[in-house]
Structures are given as structure tokens and as C-alpha cells.
Structure 1
């Protein structure tokens, strides 16, 4: 199973471990405890006659609203019928109810199916009656080309309540220009959780992001990932945020989609 999961990894995500697989099998949220809202977590595998595992899927029921949740699924991506067989098993096992797919973070991956990277699974979901919604963009930036900090502008504060580092960014004169929260690095990789700017008559987003990346490189971080969430209705689109991250060297790797199937 770990080989199947590893084959679907987005750039910047660390190789899955046996412990993380055990957590995912138990319905554990990414970076958090077992989700109390999930019950009846079930995992099934597809195997060849020789015992080789070629597919695995996990699903459960959400206790607050009674909806089903297809939590995660991995298979040989060029064998679309395998994904469809697993999805049909999940839908049948959950019965007549609304089923959401890839809407829960797990110990193996964040929310959303990488739609371009996993076309077989995406098509299988659509064939089984699921409709996709844009959840956001997955971005990746290597820091091997970064030197040290442009100047000392960051204090790092550990966040016990939030598993990560809070970077408090300042100008040379000490005035605050923004903050960033990143996950605790694993194998030299961290995830940019959010970036905020202090009120200013001019845009400082590029300065804040550049200083954040330079500071992380100075602390031995080699790769940074980020998920830019799709805007809610009435909110600004992603163009400005994408432009900011692209100017800082991030590459857009994929679109993350979540799916819903009505009974």
C-alpha cells in the first residue's frame, strides 16, 4: 500500500511511513487526532491473484450530517477500472446518502484530489456520478538557490496550539510588516500555512514572502509547499495570490478538487 501512496505523492510531500499509513487506516486527520466526526472507518484493497496490491480505498460515515466520506484512494493510475471498482465499493458500502470524496485531510495527504496528476481517478469519480469542485492550487518551491536572509527581519515563535513555526517579519527599523505560519519541517520540507500583512499604504506581500523564504532557507529548509484555497463566492479570485507566489519562485503543480455525489 505504501508504494501506491508514494506513487501519487505531490512534489514536496515527504515519503509516507508505516505509522502514517496506520493513522490513515484509523481515520486520523492530517496533523491531528482521530476525527470524532468519523465513524465506521473501513478500508478495502484490490489484489491480483499473486497477492500484489493494486488498489486501496478508505471510507467512513460523518456523524454530524450522516454523509458518507471517501477519505482516500490509491491505485495504478493508468488502470481507470481499478479506481472505478473501489469507488463503487465505497458508494455501495455507504448506502443511499450523499457521499463526499477527498474533502477530509488525512495522515497521508491534504484535502483534494490532484486533478491533473490523477486523471484516471478523476474520470472514475465522474463516471460514478461525482461532481468536482475547485478546492485550490497546490504550489511548490525549492529553496536550493536561496542564499541567507536579506537582513535579520524575523523572530521565530513555536506555536504549541498550532503545530508549526510563526515567523514575525520586520523591516530593518524593527517595524512589523507581516507574519507567516509554516508547518514544522519534515525532511527539509515545510508547508506555508498562511501569510498576513500589516496595514500599509503600499503592497508588501512580495517583501514578506521573500523574507519568509530566505529565513527558512537560512534554517536549512530545502522545499516549501503551499495550498491557495479557491475563493468563496463574492471574494477576490486567485490571480493576485498566484502572481505573488509565482514571482517568488513557486510553481503551480496541480489543481486540487473535492467531489460530491448526491443519492
Structure 2
């Protein structure tokens, strides 16, 4: 599918959204745009994700990510541009790069006013045009702003824009959320908490009353009362106690003032009963699936 990238094409699309006679421009993101871009990102947040701090926005602009520094180090030519009205109002932003390992284009993140499909399409077309004739993946890696994958339901406008530009989606993860307001205290002391500066986060080492080890969990450092559960691991002899481990982990977090927990699980797949079991475990512990996160690919 050919992608029109002429200025006249962008003007026609955006005029339909911004109003007749509206003048727009796509230009490099400047330091003075940071507040406006952060507002666009915040408007698209999934439940349980805190609004990005300026330091995290700066990491996203640089193409770095605390949870995946080795992945981010493999990017070249990271570029972020904004879509702005003539009066200066920023109504969209998109960031892309080239992956060094295979030369694939990477549409890292994209946000626009009201998740408007027409604005998103302008930004998608811009990224595809600048990346040239190559395979392009969209939302394939985590960023400092959000986990990998485009939320299928909450970002329907961007999803439709990607599909209109020749991208096809593949289910990758399930985004789950759990409030802890209803949690009581721990039944007994079950965890040693060890800080992990490299994450940064907490490692909760859970044990029985007699001190025997059950397993451990890793969570990100809470921000504004929310945290992300990275993974839960059980000793082989205690795998049947997964529900107890997770319940105790949540109670421990509630004791430490955490109000919301999120986690991202791989989507269930044929021949992977462990993925079905993980989803069932979290659902039984009160986690609710908020959205499905998809990765998108466009072939040249």
C-alpha cells in the first residue's frame, strides 16, 4: 500500500480535524514542547500507570528505557517530531528509530489529541516515510512511558490509523490491574524485602512461618501509590501454593502503602498451558484484564 507523504496530503487530513483553514506543521520536538507532549501521553495512560515525569519523558525522547537498556542501546537515529497547529498548540507526537541488529524501523511511541485517527495517521505516515523502504514494527518494545504493545481498546484511533497504513497486529500481552484498597494486613511476616537498584524495585522473598522459602516476587518501586508486578516465582516443591504466594505478596504491598498493582502477562497461546495458568492465577487474586497489548508490523 503506497503511503502519500506530501505536505498537501497532511494538510487535507489535519484540516478535516482541526477545522477549515487550520495551518499545521510537522517539526522536530523542541524543549519547549515537553509539557504539551507529557499531557498527550498522560491522556492515553492505562489505569494504574502514573503520569510520566519529565525525566521519563526525556528518556523516551532519547530512546532509552530503564526496564530495557540493552534493547534501547541497539537503536540508531532516534527522532521525535510533533504535529503542531499554526498557533503553536501541539496536537500529536511520534518517535521512531532504526534497530541496529536487523535494520528494521521501529515506531517507538505515538500520542495525539483525543487519540484521533486522522491525527494518528498523519504521524504514522510521517514515521513510515522517514524510515524509508524497510520493515517497520510499531510498539514492539517497552519505553520509559509505557509497556510494549498498543492497547487495543483504549487506543482504537491509533490502531485504525496503523491498519489504514498497512500495518497488521499480533497479540502479545494482557494488561492486568488490581486495586489494593480492600486488602487487610499480612497474616504473618512472610517476606524479606530487598531493594534492587538495577531495576529499581523490590524483591520480596516469601517464606513460611518456620522460615522455609516459598518463592519470591519482583515489583517496581511504587510511584504515586502504584507499582508493577514484574514476576512471581515459586520453588518447585511449592508450585501448588501460587495463590497463597500472590495473596501474601499483595497484602505485603498494601501494608507498605501501595494502592494499585499492574502486571503484564503474555497472551495465552496454543500449547502453552503455563500461560493459561498464570492468567487464571492473577484473575483469582482479583486482577482484572484492562486491555490487550498488540505489536504491529508493516512490510515494505
Is TM (by shorter chain) over 0.5? yes
SS in 2 for 1:203: helix
Aligned to 1:28: 64
Structure number with larger C-alpha Rg: 2
Counterparts of 2:171 and 2:149 in 1: how far apart (Å)? 9
Tell me, yes or no, if structure 1 residue 92 matches structure 2 residue 129: yes
CA contact (8 A) 2:64 2:73 kept: no
Match of 2:184 in 1: 147
Within the alignment, does 1:70 sit opposite 2:96 as a pair? no
Q: Does 1:205 align with 2:242?
A: yes
What is the deviation of 1:128?
0.8
2:279 paired with 1:242? yes
* Aligned twin of 2:44: 8
Deviations 1:28-65 (CA, angstroms, capped at 9, x unpaired)? 11445582211111111111222211111000111111
Give the gaps of 5 or more residues in structure 1: none
Residues 1:47 and 2:123 aligned together: no
State the Cα distance separating 1:231 from its structure 2 match.
5.0
Gaps of 5+ in 2: 1-36
For residue 54 of structure 2, the aligned residue among 18, 23, 33 is: 18
Aligned partner of residue 211 in structure 1, secondary structure: helix
Provide the TM-score with structure 1 as the length reference. Answer: 0.94
Q: State the TM-score, normalized to the length of structure 2.
A: 0.83
> What count of residue pairs does the alignment treat as equivalent?
263
Distance 1:78 1:41 in 2: 23
Larger relative helix fraction: 2
The structure 1 residue matched to 2:225, chosen from 169, 188, 193, is 188
How far is the alpha carbon of 1:175 from its aligned partner? Answer: 1.9
Q: Structure 1 residues 91, 233: closer, same or farther in 2, change over 3 A?
A: farther
Q: Is the 8 A contact 1:77 1:118 kept in 2?
A: no
Q: Distance in 1 between matches of 2:115 and 2:44?
A: 12
Once residues 22 and 201 of structure 1 are traced to their aligned partners in structure 2, the CA distance between those partners, rounded to angstroms, is 43
Using a 3 Å threshold, how does the CA distance of structure 1 residues 183 and 98 change in structure 2: closer, same or farther? Answer: same
Displacement after TM superposition at 1:79 (Å): 2.1
Contact 2:167–2:297, Cα closer than 8 Å, also in 1: yes
1:127 paired residue number: 164
Measured at CA, do residues 45 and 161 of structure 1 come closer, stay the same or move farther in structure 2, by a change above 3 Å? closer
Closer, same or farther in 2 for the Cα pair 1:208/1:237, shift >3 Å?
Answer: closer
The change in CA–CA distance for 1:79 and 1:42 in structure 2 (over 3 A counts) is same
Aligned to 2:19: none
What do the CA deviations read for 1:205-238 (whole angstroms, capped 9, x no partner)?
Answer: 1100000000111111111110011256642264
1:248/1:119 CA distance change after superposition, 3 Å: same
Q: What does residue range 170-181 of structure 1 map to in structure 2 within 5 Å?
A: 170-181=207-218
C-alpha contact (below 8 Å) 1:230/1:237 kept by paired residues: no
Give the superposed CA RMSD.
Answer: 1.7
